[in-house]
Amino acid sequence: GENVEQHPSTLSVQEGDSAVIKCTYSDSASNYFPWYKQELGKRPQLIIDIRSNVGEKKDQRIAVTLNKTAKHFSLHITETQPEDSAVYFCAASKGSNYQLIWGAGTKLIIKP
Amino acid sequence: EAQVTQNPRYLITVTGKKLTVTCSQNMNHEYMSWYRQDPGLGLRQIYYSMNVEVTDKGDVPEGYKVSRKEKRNFPLILESPSPNQTSLYFCASRGDATNTEAFFGQGTRLTVV
């Protein structure tokens, strides 16, 4: 079955710098790749997603890139701010399968 | 407003005392799922349901039961809770098999003493 690996487990960056979190997946049939943000004590919430027919998607300071050949996708956050501090999860799913396969999460720390 | 509602938000109970955590969604979603989240371990799926009367085990189903008698409700049942079930629990729903957002409930923090 599908397996999603996420790296790094913890990422500490200076405020204003960029952050990149990477995920790899095993099932080449996967075609939907969302990213969720979970603030401390809160529920995970979708921040951006990408489908396999697109290579990159941007929404203000966040972007996601997908490399189908290498089977990996990445979350990019530019000009990081204190409110970006959170745990970020990637996931993958395919076709008619409702199941989302989750990465282990990355704790992003923004240093002032 | 589209939402997934879990109750209770916080629960402290004693070992062996049966409890139910409720989950309800108002989006007419087919798919619902339960996760537990422990420090450093991310989201681990307990059970999921593709539709009414259809449930399946996730990665960590031992010690839990679920039911799906109505589309909107997906309760999580702990028949005999143990301390190792102390965790943060999330219910989630998803409505479209062709890749759409999963909505999470607010979470239930369970402590079993």
pLDDT tens sequence across A41-61: 899 999 999 998 889 999 999
Residue given tokens 């839990």 in the structure block: B64
Cβ contacts of A103 on chain B, cutoff 8 Å:
42
Read off the pLDDT of each residue in B63-70 and give the average, rounded to a whole number.
97
- The tokens describing A47, both together, are 């921040």
Interface of A with B (CB under 8 A): 31-32, 34, 36, 42-46, 49, 51, 89, 93, 95-100, 102-105
- The tokens describing A85, both together, are 């501090």
pLDDT digits (tens, 9 = 90+) for B6-63: 999 999 999 999 999 999 999 999 999 999 999 877 899 999 999 999 999 999 999 9
Residue A1: its pLDDT value, please? Answer: 81
Please name the residue of chain B whose CA is at the shortest distance from the CA of residue A43. Answer: B106
Share of chain A above pLDDT 90, in %: 86
**Cβ separation A89–B42 shorter than 8 A:** yes
Contact B25, B3 (CB under 8 A): yes
- Reading phi first (left if > 0) and then psi (alpha if -120 to 50, else beta), residue B19 is in beta
Q: B99, B103, B108: best mutation site toward chain A, by most A Cβ within 10 Å? A: B99
pLDDT band at A2 (very low <50, low <70, confident <90, very high): confident
Say whether pLDDT at B96 is over 80: no
Read off the pLDDT of each residue in B81-110 and give the average, rounded to a whole number.
91
CA distance B102 to chain A (A): 8
Q: How many CB atoms lie within 10 A of CB A42?
A: 13
Q: A6, A7, A43: best mutation site toward chain B, by most B Cβ within 10 Å? A: A43
E strand or H helix at A50, and its extent? strand A45-51
Contact B35, B105 (CB under 8 A): no
Amino acid at B99: N
Q: Tell me the pairing of strands B43-51 and B31-37.
A: antiparallel
Residue B99: its pLDDT value, please? Answer: 62
CA distance A98 to chain B (A): 5
Cα(B108)–Cα(B4) distance, rounded to whole angstroms? 12
What is the tally of helices (H) and strands (E) in chain B?
A: 0, 11
Cα(A42)–Cα(A44) distance, rounded to whole angstroms? 7
Residue B3: its pLDDT value, please? Answer: 94
Strands of the sheet with B76-78, listed across from one edge: B4-7, B19-25, B76-78, B65-66
Q: A98, A100, A102, A107: best mutation site toward chain B, by most B Cβ within 10 Å? A: A98
pLDDT band at A94 (very low <50, low <70, confident <90, very high): confident
Residue B100: its pLDDT value, please? Answer: 81
Residues near B74 by beta carbon (within 8 Å), at least 6 away in sequence: B23, B24, B25, B32, B33, B34, B49, B66, B67, B68, B91, B93
Say whether pLDDT at B98 is over 70: no
- The tokens describing A59, both together, are 């929404």
Phi, psi of B83 (to 5 degrees): -55, -30
